[in-house]
Structure formats: C-alpha cells, structure tokens
C-alpha cells in the first residue's frame, strides 16, 4: 500500500494545485550573482524548513504523477539526481509505492556501475548509477529540483535506458525556460512551477 503522507503540521494548500503553487512560490528566495556574476539564483531550501511547504511540494508532484500514470502504467522507480533530487525523491517514491534510485557523481558508489558524461552550466561532470539499480522493463520517473541546460537530466535518462528502464516522464520543481533544457530530453517534461530567466538585465 502507498504511504498516506499527511503530517499534522502540513496544512493550508491541501490538494488544490493553485494553492500548492502559490505556497511554493512564496517560499522561494533569490540571491543575485550566485554562483557567478549575472546569475539570479533561485534558492529552494526554505521549502524544506517549512513542513507545510514541503508537503505541498510532494503533494503537487504526486498529483501530477497519479493523474497521468496509474494502474499498469504507474512508476516502478523514482530516479533522483545528485544532490537536491535526494531531498524529496525518496519520500515521493514512498508515497507512490515505488523504489528510489539515486544518480550520483562519479566515484561515490561501490560495486559495478554505469556512467554517463554531461555538460553543465559551469563545466562537465560524470554521473553514475549502480548497475543493478533498475531492472529491464521497469517504468521510471526522473526527478530533480530545477531543469536548466538539461545536461544532468539527460545523463540520468541515458543511465536509465542503459539498464533497460522505460522513462515515463522527467519532473522538476522549476524550469529555466530560456536555456531550453527540455529540448535535450527524450520523454515528456513537467515542471510544477514556471521558471523565469535568471540572467540579470
């Protein structure tokens, strides 16, 4: 049975998606010139300091998934990206009665792994997944906090497919639309909040 997640502290937004979005947007804060000059950084950490906002985030993602993928098409695995996908991916997986599989930077996993290189805003890196983490034919949803250039999500998708997983959807809290990251991805993309350009004028 899926976990019924309704902590007493999580009140306010309920299952109304407009209320959920309003609460999440009000919880974000911005920092200019981080991590480099000219960038307006969207900080999602306050969401996790507020049980109601954290529950709203999980509820918004759960509603999207359950509306589109149910019955025989429900996800078997939630894949979360290093590192902020780890903050809500495991709990979301538990709510959906699915497994959680992390994608991490190279050298963090023991045992056999598969790897994929990706380009990001400030250089390149390599993601890895344990070689037995996903079984052939399992249905997978890939989650992260923000899609920017799409490089890291694309790498997670490559790892999933190397292991025989079927990607149902990529899901994010926010999207930086002007970077057109979703164009790199090979499955439907959903963002809970509409992203705004972060390049300052």
pLDDT tops 70 at residue 163: yes
Predicted local distance difference test score (pLDDT) of residue 121: 66
Residue 5 domain-assigned?
Answer: no
Decide if 76 contacts 99 (C-beta within 8 A): yes
- Cβ-contact 104, 168 below 8 angstroms: no
- Is 65:141 a contact under the CB 8 Å cutoff? yes
Strands 139-147 and 99-105: unpaired
Token pair belonging to 185: 């991805």
For residue 48, is it within any domain? yes
Q: Compute the distance between CA of residue 167 and CA of residue 173 in angstroms, rounded to an integer.
A: 18
Structure tokens at 145: 């906090």
Residue 157 lies in a domain: yes
Q: Which residues contact 101 (CB under 8 A, 6 or more apart)?
A: 77, 78, 79, 80, 129, 130, 133, 134, 140
* 11 lies in some domain: no
Question: Is 175 inside a domain boundary?
Answer: yes
Predicted pLDDT of residue 38: 86
pLDDT per position as a tens digit, 115-146: 999 987 667 899 999 999 999 999 999 999 99
pTM (predicted TM-score): 0.89
> Phi, psi at residue 6, to the nearest 5°?
-145, 70
User: How many domains, the chain?
Assistant: 1
Q: How far apart are the first and last CA of the chain?
A: 50
1 within some domain:
no
Residue 124 is part of a domain; what is its CATH number?
Answer: 3.40.50.2020
Beta bridge partners of residue 189, listed in sequence order: 170
Structure tokens at 181: 């990251």
pLDDT (tens digit, 9 = 90+) per residue, 77-101? 999 999 999 999 999 999 999 999 9
d(CA 42, CA 70): 32
Tokens of 113: 């792994």
Q: Indicate if the pLDDT at residue 66 is higher than 60.
A: yes
Give the residue numbers marked as catalytic: 84, 121
166 belongs to a structural domain? yes
Residue 8 lies in a domain: no
Domain that holds residue 168: 17-191
Tokens 């920017």, residue located: 148
């Amino acid at each position: 049975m899926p976990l019924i997640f309704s902590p007493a502290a999580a009140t306010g937004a309920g299952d109304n998606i407009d209320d959920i979005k309003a609460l999440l947007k009000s919880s974000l804060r911005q920092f200019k010139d981080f991590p480099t000059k000219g960038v307006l950084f969207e900080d999602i950490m306050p969401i996790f300091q507020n049980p109601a906002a954290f529950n709203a985030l999980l509820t918004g993602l759960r509603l999207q998934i359950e509306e589109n993928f149910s019955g025989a098409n429900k996800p078997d695995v939630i894949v979360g990206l290093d590192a902020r996908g780890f903050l809500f991916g495991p709990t979301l997986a538990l709510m959906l009665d699915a497994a959680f599989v992390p994608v991490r930077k190279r050298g963090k996993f023991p045992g056999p792994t598969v790897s994929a290189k990706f380009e990001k805003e400030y250089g390149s890196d390599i993601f890895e997944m344990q070689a037995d983490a996903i079984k052939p034919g399992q249905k997978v949803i890939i989650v992260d906090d923000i899609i920017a250039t799409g490089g890291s999500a694309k790498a997670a998708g490559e790892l999933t497919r190397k292991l025989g997983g079927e990607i149902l959807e990529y899901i994010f809290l926010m999207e930086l639309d002007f970077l057109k990251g979703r164009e790199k991805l090979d499955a439907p993309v959903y963002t809970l909040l509409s992203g705004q350009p972060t390049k300052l004028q």
